[in-house]
Amino acid sequence: MHKYILRRLLMLIPVMLGVSFIVFTMMYITPGDPARIMLGESAPTEEVEKFREELGLNDPFFFQYGRFVKNLVIHQDIGRSYTSKRPVTIEILSRFPNTLKLATLGIVVAVVLGIPTGIISATKQYSIFDNAAMVAALLGVSMPNFWQGLMLILLFSVHLGWLPSSGFSSYKEMILPALTLGTSSAAIITRMTRSSMLEVIRQDYIRTARAKGQTESVVINRHALKNALIPIVTVIGLQFGYLLGGAVLTESIFGISGVGRLMVESINARNFPVVQGGVLFIALTFSIVNLMVDILYSFLDPRIKSQYK
């Protein structure tokens, strides 16, 4: 097991190198001279040229990439923000807790809504509840979350006046963003829970459990759900990554100062080191979450544990 975790952690290195290469290349091909952006439009050309030399922007592509990776690995340095002049790592780390909190709340909403609905749908297949839940789930997947956020604001903030439309410090302020972000994932988790449960419910051991007189709730929760969990947990892990990315839109709707909003602002300001850092950081978080999901499998299913060597 330890060996497995170590191997997976080592595998993160080439993936993150790849991500850094993509991110670096994208910023490299982006039109606009960083030296010019930093010094301002009015700076004399000679000065810009001198600054380019200082920054190493005249070096060959791979040389620059090598330096980028070296700084990243040794000094955890992704450069400085063009606008605030602060190190990008600090800019991102100061905003990251909000994004993480938002994504976590979103996934909590998704799990709390999704798993029970999926289970009931599966146990009462083709009932009115099931049909209604499936239509609702499909609508949930189909709704653009930025639009849903606006509609929630319209209903709960503008018309009913129950909840604030922006901010992210009190629990009241977190409800709408979490709902906005979590709905589509809730829908996906509902669908996955239902189909995974349906598959398990048909197995012989469920019939055996029922035949030996086990109560229905034990059959469903202990026998069926436990065996249906693997694909559900996989989806939850993937959704978490999706929520980290989707937070970009939710954060800009509710005015939450997280990594997503920072990135949108930075793109508009052509503040590329911050964009670079944001993508790298979220990709790293996403990879770590997926790794944790894989490790979680072994606790859910002892058969998988024996395969991890």
Partner 1 sequence: MANVNPAMDGKIPQADVKIAKKKRSQWFEVWLRLKKSKAAMVGLAIIVILIFSAIFADFIAPEGIDDQDLDRRFVSPSAEHFMGTDHLGRDIFSRIVYGSRISLQVGFIAVGIAALAGGSLGAIAGYYGGKLDNGIMRAMDILLAIPSILLAISIVAALGPSLANVMIAVGISSMPSYARIVRASVLTIKDQEFVEAAKAIGANDLRIIIKHILPNAMAPIIVQATLGVAGAILSAAGLSFIGLGIQPPNPEWGSMLASGRHYIRDYWHIATFPGLTIMITIFGLNLLGDGLRDALDPRLKN
**Shortest Å distance, C-beta 139 to partner 1:** 6
Work out the burial of residue 152: count CB atoms within 10 Å of its CB; fewer than 13 is exposed, 13-18 middle, 19 or more buried. buried
**Shortest Å distance, C-beta 47 to partner 1:** 26
Report the first-to-last Cα separation within the chain, whole angstroms. Answer: 6
In degrees and rounded to multiples of 5, residue 53 shows phi and psi of -60, -45
Provide the 3-class DSSP secondary structure of residue 85. coil
**Shortest Å distance, C-beta 242 to partner 1:** 6
Is the distance from CB of 307 to CB of 35 less than 8 angstroms? no
Pick between residue 101 and residue 305 the one whose CB is nearest to partner 1.
Answer: 101
Q: Kindly state whether residue 232 participates in binding partner 1, applying the rule CB under 8 A.
A: no
In degrees and rounded to multiples of 5, residue 77 shows phi and psi of -115, 120
C-alpha span between 22 and 107 (Å, rounded): 28
Strand partners, 80: 87
Find the part of the chain contacting partner 1 (CB under 8 A) among 42-50, 151-159, 225-233, 293-301: 151-159
Is the distance from CB of 37 to CB of 270 less than 8 angstroms? yes
Given candidates 5, 16, 39, 55, which one binds partner 1 under the rule CB under 8 A? 16
Given candidates 267, 291, 295, 304, which one binds partner 1 under the rule CB under 8 A? 267
Q: Which residues contact 249 (CB under 8 A, 6 or more apart)?
A: 145, 146, 149, 260
Find the part of the chain contacting partner 1 (CB under 8 A) among 33-41, 71-79, 81-89, 194-202: 194-202
* Total of residues contacting partner 1 (CB under 8 A): 52
Q: Kindly state whether residue 186 participates in binding partner 1, applying the rule CB under 8 A.
A: no
Query: Mind giving me the DSSP string for 102-145?
Result: HHHHHHHHHHHHHHHHHHHHHHTTTSHHHHHHHHHHHHHHHS-H
Q: Kindly state whether residue 69 participates in binding partner 1, applying the rule CB under 8 A.
A: no
Given candidates 252, 296, 298, 304, which one binds partner 1 under the rule CB under 8 A? 252
Site mask, partner 1, residues 111-150, x = CB under 8 A?
--------------x------------xx-xxxx-xxx-x
**Tokens 């146990």 map to which residue?**
123
Q: Kindly state whether residue 199 participates in binding partner 1, applying the rule CB under 8 A.
A: yes
**Shortest Å distance, C-beta 1 to partner 1:** 23
Q: Kindly state whether residue 161 participates in binding partner 1, applying the rule CB under 8 A.
A: no
Q: Which residues contact 44 (CB under 8 A, 6 or more apart)?
A: none
- The site for partner 1 (CB under 8 A) is made up of 14-16, 18-19, 22-23, 26-27, 29-31, 125, 138-139, 141-144, 146-148, 150-151, 153-154, 158, 194-195, 198-199, 241-242, 244-246, 248-249, 252-253, 263-264, 267-268, 272, 275, 278-279, 282-283, 286-287
